[in-house]
Amino acid sequence: MAKPKQKVVITCAVTGAIHTPSMSPHLPVTADEIAEAAIGAARAGAAVLHLHARDPETGKPSQDPALFEPFLKRIKAETDAIINITTGGSPHMTVQERMRPATTFKPELASLNMGSMNFGLFPMLGRFQDFKHEWEREHLENSRSLIFRNTYQDIESILELGNANGTRFEFECYDISHLYNLAHFVDRGLVKSPPFIQSVFGILGGIGPHPEDLMHMKRTADRLFGNEYEWSILGAGRNQMPLATIGAAMGSNVRVGLEDSLWIGPGQLAESNRSQVERIRTILEALNLEVATPADTRAKLGLKG
* Helices and strands counted in the chain (H then E): 10, 16
- Radius of gyration of the CA atoms of the chain, in A: 18
* Contact positions with ligand KMH (CB under 6 A) in 49-68: 50
Q: How far is the CB of 162 from ligand KMH (least distance, A)?
A: 13
Interface pick for ligand KMH out of 63, 103, 111, 272 (rule CB under 6 A): 111
Report the residue closest to ligand KMH, judged by CB. Answer: 88
Nearest residue (CB) to ligand KMH, 178 versus 218: 178
Chosen from ligand KMH, Zn ion, none, partner binding at 113 (C-beta under 5 to 8 Å by type): ligand KMH
11 part of the interface to ligand KMH, by CB under 6 A = no
Residue type, 114: M
Among 15, 20, 63, 87, binds ligand KMH (CB under 6 A): 87
Using DSSP bridges, classify how beta strands 268-269 and 263-265 pair: parallel, antiparallel or unpaired: antiparallel
Residue window 184-213: x/- pattern of binding to ligand KMH, with contact defined by CB under 6 A? ----------------x--x----------
- Helix, coil or strand: residue 149: coil
Residues 246-305 that bind ligand KMH (CB under 6 A): 259
What is the rounded distance in angstroms from the CA atom of residue 115 to the CA atom of residue 112? 9
| Residue with Cβ nearer ligand KMH (13 or 81) | 13
Question: Cα–Cα distance between 182 and 262 in angstroms, integer?
Answer: 29
DSSP 78-112: H--PEEEE-S---TTS-HHHHHHHHHHH--SEEEE
For Cα atoms 205, 210, 212, give the angle at the middle one, nearest 5 degrees. Answer: 110
Cis status, amide bond into 194, omega within 30 of 0:
yes
Q: Which residue ranges make up the site for Zn ion (CB under 5 A)?
A: 16, 86
Task: Report the nearest approach of ligand KMH to the CB of residue 131 (Å).
Answer: 20
245 binds, among Zn ion, ligand KMH, none (CB under 5 to 8 A by kind): none
CB of 16 to ligand KMH, least distance (A): 5
